[in-house]
Homo-oligomer: A and B are copies of this chain.
Amino acid sequence: MTVAPAVPDAIVAPRHPGEPLGIVAGGGDLPRLVAAQARLHGWEPRILAVGDGIGAAWLPDDAWPMAWGRLGNAFAHLKDRGVQRLVLCGTVSVRPDFRAILPSLKTLAMLPQIFRVIRGGDDNLLRAAARAFEQRGFELVAVQEILPELLMLPGAVGGALPSVADRAALRRGFEAAGVLGALDVGQAVVASKDRVIALEGIEGTREMLQRVADLRRRGRIGPTERCVLVKGVKPGQDLRFDLPSIGVATIEEAAEAGLVGIGLSAGHALVIGIDDVMAAARAKGIFLWGWTRSCAEEGSA
């Protein structure tokens, strides 16, 4: 028995071929993948680039770079293009400075709401952004409703298996990730079976892993201490956006940090490019483990 996945089987399909799908696209590989797959499934992607997504190389000509001060215009922009449903995906690592906001006329009345959006933890930010869109009649769709094949599976995915000690490290990591997530801080933790090594703040997973690599180089982590990366869904988080995710780069960064494996919440985390991720994990000797309550309790791979 496994924990129910965020979305069991349902795929959200376009109501008619070429239905516009709004994609509010931050940074990273996920928005590009979502746009490409959505098109394959018959959607016509309409992209608003935000935060780290602005200026991304893959963006089509008609992508609209949305500065925070123009959020009001974004709604009109999407409605004019027939968008009813949209996806929020990708990373937004730099929060706008309040003082840098030069609001457009349409945005002026929304300033209090925008301020709510750009304050607070990541989860608050996304919840507030989602609410702003929903209040204007848009329907939010989760990435995994369009691309359920991205959802992490339970158990050993790929080559290597976690040892008994490694599963103790996973357990410790998920325990820490749970309390971290409950505080709406990060989703990622590095742990060994004996201790928690690093916790993700606003710096993000990549920089946390660079820190761990540095700690290992300096002998602050012994050469025999087997450490794992854990990315867990936040307790009670809205599963329609900001699921924990990994890609090929995560495997490489984990290998650089000397980690032996990665644990993800099965059914509540995204693997971006599973074939490449598995190949990279095999090449680096890193296990991938889909964490569920039952996998934890049964305790054997």
Give chain A's interface residues, CB within 8 Å of chain B. Answer: 93-99, 119-121, 124, 175-176, 179-180, 182-186, 190, 194-203, 207, 211, 215, 218-224
Q: CA of A124 to CA of B215 in the docked complex: distance in angstroms?
A: 20
In this complex, which of A97, A119, A183, A197 has the most chain B Cβ atoms within 10 angstroms of its Cβ?
A183
Q: Which of A190, A194, A199 has the most CB of B within 10 A?
A: A199
How distant is the Cα of A121 from the Cα of B172 in the complex, in angstroms?
12
How far apart are A217's CB and chain B's nearest CB, in angstroms?
Answer: 12
Interface pair A121/B179, CB less than 8 Å apart: no
Q: Are A194's CB and B94's CB within 8 A?
A: no
Known: A197-B201, A202-B198. A219 touches B94 (CB 8 A): yes
B176 touches A185 (CB 8 A): yes
Cβ–Cβ < 8 Å partners of A200 in chain B: 199
Residues of B contacting A175 with CB < 8 Å?
183
Chain B residue at minimum C-beta to C-beta distance from A120: B194
Q: Contacts A94-B220, A198-B203, A203-B215 known; list 5 others, CB within 8 Å.
A: A121-B194, A121-B196, A190-B201, A199-B200, A202-B215
CB-CB < 8 A to A179: which residues of B? Answer: 179-180, 182-183
Residue of B nearest to A196 (CB): B185
Contact B199 A98 (CB under 8 A): no
B215 touches A199 (CB 8 A): no
Chain B residues in 8 Å Cβ range of A95: 220, 222
Q: Are B203 and A98 in contact (CB under 8 A)?
A: no
Which 7 pairs show the lowest CB-CB distances between chains A and B? A198-B201, A199-B199, A97-B222, A185-B196, A121-B195, A179-B179, A119-B194
Contact A99 B221 (CB under 8 A): no
Q: How far is the CB of A231 from chain B (nearest CB, A)?
A: 15
CB neighbours of A215 from chain B (8 A):
202-203
When chains A and B are docked, how far (Å) is the Cα of A219 from the Cα of B124?
Answer: 20
Are B197 and A220 touching (Cβ within 8 A)?
Answer: no
- Given known A183-B175, A203-B220, A211-B211, contact A195–B120 (CB-CB < 8 A): yes
CA distance A63 to B79 in the complex (A): 76
24 A-B pairs with CB atoms under 8 Å apart are A93-B220, A96-B222, A97-B219, A97-B223, A97-B224, A98-B222, A120-B194, A120-B195, A121-B195, A121-B196, A179-B179, A179-B182, A184-B196, A185-B195, A185-B196, A186-B199, A196-B202, A198-B203, A199-B201, A201-B211, A202-B220, A203-B211, A203-B220, A211-B211
